[in-house]
Amino acid sequence: MPLDPDRAEPGRPDPEALLAMAAKEGRGRLKVFLGAAPGVGKTFEMLVQARRRHLGGADVVAGVIETHGRAETQGQIGELPVLPRARITYRGQVLEEFDLDAALARRPQILLLDELAHTNVPGSRHPKRWMDVAELRAAGIEVWTTMNVQHLESLSDAVARITGIRVAETVPDRILAEADAIELVDIPPAELLDRMRQGRVYRPAQAERALKGFFREGNLAALRELALRRTAERVDAEVTGYMRANAMSGPWPTGERVMALVGPDAAAETVVRQARRIADALHGSLVALHVERLGAEDRVDPSPALQLAEALGAEVETVVAADLPTAILNCARTRNVTHLVFGRGRTAWWRRITGRTLSAALLRQATEFSLHLVPNPALPPRPLRDRRPLPAWFGWAMVPILVGAATGIGLATDGIVPEGALGMVYLAAIVATAVVAAPPQALVAAFLSFVFWNYLFLPPRYELTIANAQDVVGVVVFSLVALLLVGTTGGLGRSVRVARARLFSLRRLVEFSRRLGAPGSQADLVTAVADEAQRVTGHATCVLMPLPGGPSGTPVELVVRAAVPTEAEPDDASLAAAAWAFEHGTVTGHGTDTLSAVAWQFRPMRTAHAVVGLVGTRPPEGHDLDAERDRALTALLDQAAVAIERAELMEERARGTARAETEALRTALLTSLGHDLRTPLTGIRGAAETLRDSGNRLTEATRTDLLTTIIEETTRMGRFVSNILDMVRVEAGEITPRRDPVDVIDAVEAVTQRAETVSGRRIGRDLEAKRLTAQLDAALLNQVLANLLDNALKFSGPQGQVNVGARREGAEIAIFVEDDGPGIPPGDLHRIFDPFFRASRTDRVTAGSGLGLAICRGLVNAMHGRIAAESPVRQGQGTRMTARFPA
């Protein structure tokens, strides 16, 4: 329903704000100590303040205090009286619960009631503790309580996405909104984790489990942000309520608040969506306002736009008023709005002329707000018109028009204005002619003006005579003033035109320099050159570049690399002129002395070394460039040539770097082949020759050992060749993973069992009990896990311990493989996943080919995951490889 227009009247308190204040009368106050997570010190801070009030003489009673075994919290209860708990029997057990009836009978001044989200034991009067609090407040008892931000009902889904844990106990948001005071108890996540490790929050065993699950630094940081935002929203609501209740005019710059002005036009929904985007970008709230004007009919029903605003989370308000800008500004000040978003509607022409449009009124009056004008997508864009210089005949046509107008004014005022003063009217006509035309036309206008003035108005009338010396002086002064005005005004007009042209050129050069400095490829640069040349000239434009790699001595072949518009391409005759311009480095084509018959004009982009390309323009007949635009185009081409040369040098440098990297990779590959293939081949050859030459004289155990050596070295060589092929596939981007649901726990268990069978060693497991599913390629995941386990088993030593685990971390699934080997030097951590890199972790283990971890990174990236290494893990040793995939 539309609200009363008096509601927005300045100087009067808001009735709704006064009703909200009246509703709190006679009800007990509620103070909430809000925290981001358990252990931040909510209960401790509540007890500190309660003891201070108790020492000051207040009747403070501890109803329920949950210390969780924390000695510091227990010590803060001190001399505070504690309310005995009720004993309730449930399923054969006697449980202690808050005694609501005892609290109502005791009626303390302040009652401390910890854990607002607590679920009461079945058999209690209310199923939830926040319901107990509501009854206590209705009885006039002030309640102090604590809660964590994850227990708010509206944040349940967000907390589940962040932490991976669904909070069972929730509190309705209205309970927190109705609280009289909210105090945020906050500490940094790193400090909270230190308290957890020191055993100051949970017992050691429980703390160790919490650190692996809920209490991770990323989770705590996200929850802390939620708590800070919710507290800031509450403070903003309190400020707004105070301003409305006390009739204070805003806005106060305490926070960002966006108001969308929903009008009765087709752009209303566009305004709402744009306002929502602005509010999201500013992390502010959104209000949608529709003003119904008295006596006016809406052209379009605003209801769909208002419904859209409600769906987007905006607070919708409708008011009725006669003065649209005043109603908008009063409502905006009342709601402490900082940004106004409105559309460009269809406005009557007389409103635009008189400046009575809504946008003009807001620009004049809304000086304390940020204004956002949203274009109307339903209105077609107005075509831009190129301002051409006026033709010569126009100036000559203006001479009789302006002189005739001055004569008409003189005849109309004859007898009223003295004849001498009529000369000023003719001077005005002379000045106007000098402004719109050229000096010759102004001189003719001056002569005609003198003739008509003398003949029609100076005595003796209707005669071209000069009667006396005064007339001689008047004629001379009039002529001199007219000539002076002609010269000054004409020169001033020419200066203005030249200055405007030079300013245009300067702006275009500055904008073009900025575009050239932006990062991008040579193709982007060439497109920018074509666009800018078209803007400067106003003609069809193209950029031609030579094809690289032509045989020496052959003519250069030019190709069109960019054109504006896209269909603008030179014909064969014009291309011949372009080839001449490129070869000789001169301007060729239309309007020049060389091949002037073609329709295009080609200008070289020349550097100190060579011509890097051509810019072609196709001017229409009779529309050659003026001097200023010609100079601007020349300066533009000089900058473009330097930028293109710089881009070519950068590309050449990139190619040189790639060649160097390829050469380094080739060298590493040959070195690896020379070492990792020669070693197993030498072992195989030695064992085979021993069996051939001395097979009959060897014992059965020796022959078996030699055959085992051959098999192991063959397997090692095959694995190395397989790694080489996999690495080539990864580098070439030929791996296309499948996206199927994979049970990560089952995959990790299967690969771990195979690794145990091959190595004969026990591998520890730290796997979540619940199912973890991700869209992955099962075969690639198995290869990643196998390489990680093989790497860990090799570097942990024969007696070392290797652990594998998988768990949910927010929106990701983390799989880690950890060993207790000597670790990786800090300087090598950033290179550990490079091909053929071998970290010198121990002298006891033969280093591999350096491809296993590089293959892991390539496969993980192909599955849209990420992998990282950590070392040391504990006591200065150990390495942990962690692969994370989207859950």
Write out the DSSP string of 353-383. Answer: HHT-SHHHHHHHH-TTSEEEEEP-TTSPPPP
Separation of alpha carbons 295 and 321, rounded Å:
10
Q: Check if the beta carbon of residue 862 is closer than 8 Å to that of residue 738.
A: no
Alpha carbon of residue 49 to chain centroid: 43
Active site residues: 592
In angstroms, the Cα distances linking 539 to 503, 568, 599, 621, 644 are: 20, 10, 12, 11, 22
Q: Which residues pair with 819 in a beta bridge?
A: 802, 879
- 202: tokens are 């949970």
CA distances from 5 to 10, 339, 643 (A): 11, 22, 62
β-bridge partners, 61: 111
Residue entry with tokens 């480095």: 585
Provide the angle, in degrees to the nearest 10, between the axes of the packed helices 422-436 and 469-517.
30
H or E element at residue 571: none
Nearest-angstrom CA–CA distance, 553 and 174? 85
Secondary structure (H, E, C), 421-471: CHHHHHHHHHHHHHHHCCHHHHHHHHHHHHHHHHHHCCCCCCCCCCCCHHH
φ/ψ of residue 625, rounded to 5: -75, 145
Residue 271, C-beta contacts closer than 8 angstroms, at least 6 positions apart = 260, 261, 262, 263, 305, 341, 342, 343, 374
DSSP 8-state secondary structure symbol assigned to residue 8: G
Residue 758 has a CB neighbour count (10 Å cut-off) of: 12
Residue 346 and residue 267 in contact, taking contact as beta carbons nearer than 8 Å: no
Cis-peptide into 418, omega within 30 deg: no
CA distance to 20, 199, 221, per residue, from 217 (Å): 40, 17, 6
Beta strands in 24-149 (DSSP E): 30-35, 60-64, 86-90, 93-97, 110-113, 142-148
For residue 213, give the DSSP letter: T
- Phi and psi at residue 432, in whole multiples of 5°? -60, -40
Nearest residue to 755 (alpha-carbon basis) of 787, 712, 711:
787
Alpha helices for 543-677 (secondary structure H): 572-584, 627-672
Tokens matching residue 280: 């999201």
Region of 82 please: left (phi>0), alpha (psi -120 to 50) or beta. beta
